Structure 1
Amino acid sequence: MKKSAVFLDRDGVLNEDTGYVFDPRKLKWIEGAQEAVKTINEAGYFAFVVTNQSGVARGLFDEDDVQALHAWMADELAKFGARIDDFEYCPDHPEAVVERYRRTNIRRKPGPGMINDLVARHNVGVGGSILIGDKETDVEAARAAGIKGYLFPGGNLLTFVRSILAENPGSFRNRQG
């Protein structure tokens, strides 16, 4: 059985985009973010994070830092009774300072690779799935993966998620297939 998903960009959607966030002490949640994730969970959807992390390619931090931040975020969300079912990130950038990350990669948004990998790994039904991002490249990645993309304009994420649920009562229900 397939289950629909909500794919969330990280910086600018779940947390404030203050530039290359990797230290939990410097992460500031977007208003309503934890509650929005819990609402997505309670509605029966997978909740996934898909995030470009070019700070790794730029030598500002390493992949262990990204993974540690995601583990910390998961722990913080659990305090609200919320969960991210899986985190995907792409450390690559075509102009990377760190040689091993200097490449073009379909996993880097606007490419659909991170979304497609999660769809395959978790048996996601794309028909009822969406992506919420804060940049046009997020929406392009969603479109390339065959799902609907929404631009989060800022403000309260819970309010935004609720408006999407209300806007798409037929198509956003957790559907099979």
Structure 2
Amino acid sequence: MNKALFLDRDGIINVDHGYVYQKENFEFVAGIFELCRQAMAKGYLLIIITNQSGIGRGKYTIQEFDALTRWMKEEFKKQQCLITDVYYCPHHPTKGKGEYLKACQCRKPEPGLLLKASDEHKIDLKQSIFIGDKTSDMQAAQAAGIHNRILLASKYDDHQQITAHRIDELTAASTYID
């Protein structure tokens, strides 16, 4: 079985400027490449798990998201980081349009994307780590059975309602990668 470092995208990999879908607006969070290299050196696969309701809201297309994802993965590769896979949910239960207007099992806080990644890449979720910046990230990780949850708690207040390691800057996450 493999172990993975699961990463939320907006707020963890890139600065969350809201519905980022163009490389011109994609700003990497300080320390992300160093953190990923450290995790890879310890045997973790790097997998991105991201809600992308901007697709469902009609703000950008799947093709635009895919193009940005290919570019992002190439930027990681230039930094000696291999993104194993990217999983995304385009749905929104109240603001999606057409086929994207639905409650689903893939939108965090549901664990669907984590379970799919685990199945497809033979990942032991109990030995894995999830880093996110929202309560929904931690809820999805907990529901999937990930014990090592790291919350970048500087932007959103979870009112201590969830169990996670709380950090103020991404660089502090390295302490919890073993």
| Fold in common (TM above 0.5) | yes
**Cα drift, residue 94 of structure 1:** 1.2
In 1: Cα distance, 2:67 partner to 2:134 partner: 25
Paired residue type of 1:83: L
User: Does the Cα contact within 8 Å between 1:30 and 1:156 map onto a contact in 2?
Assistant: no
The correspondence of residues 75-90 of structure 1 with structure 2, limited to 5 A, is: 75-90=74-89
* 1:49 maps to 2:48: yes
Contact 1:152 1:160 in 2 (8 A): no
Q: Distance in 1 between matches of 2:99 and 2:51?
A: 16
* Structure 1 residue aligned with 2:152: 152
Q: CA deviation at 1:150?
A: 1.5
| Aligned counterpart, 2:176 | 164
Once the two structures are TM-superposed, the CA of residue 160 in structure 1 deviates from its matched residue by 2.2
CA RMSD of aligned residues (A): 1.3
Show the counterpart of 1:121: 120
Output the CA distance in 2 between the equivalents of 1:95 and 1:68: 26
CA distance in 1, matches of 2:30, 2:67: 22
Flag as ranges the 4+ runs of structure 1 deviating above 6 A: none
Q: Is the 8 A contact 1:109 1:137 kept in 2?
A: yes
- Is this contact kept in 2: 1:13–1:134, CA < 8 A? yes
Question: What amino acid is aligned across from residue 11 of structure 1 in structure 2?
Answer: D
Q: What amino acid sits opposite 2:2 in the alignment?
A: K
* Aligned counterparts of 1:82 and 1:126: Cα–Cα separation in 2: 21
Structure 1 residue 98: Cα displacement: 2.1
Match of 1:35 in 2: 34
Identity %: 36
* CA gap 1:156/1:79 in 2 versus in 1, 3 angstroms: farther
Alignment partners' CA distance in 2, 1:39 and 1:156: 16
Moved more, 62-71 or 50-59: 62-71
Q: Spell out, residue by residue over 1:28-56, the C-alpha distance to the aligned partner (whole angstroms, 9 max, x if none).
A: 00001122112211211111000000001
- In structure 2, the gaps of 5 or more residues are 155-167
Deviation at 1:66, TM superposition (A): 1.2
Kept after mapping to 2: 8 A contact 1:33/1:156: no
Name the structure 2 match of 1:15: 14
Q: Deviations over 1:67-102 (max 9, x none)?
A: 111111110011111111100000001123420101
Unmatched segments (≥5 aa) in structure 1: 166-171, 173-177
Which AA in structure 1 matches 2:35?
Answer: A
Q: Please give the alpha-carbon distance, in whole angstroms, between the structure 2 residues aligned to 1:153 and 1:86.
A: 25
Mapped partners of 2:153, 2:75: distance in 1: 24
In 2, the alpha carbon distance for the partners of 1:75 and 1:156 equals: 24
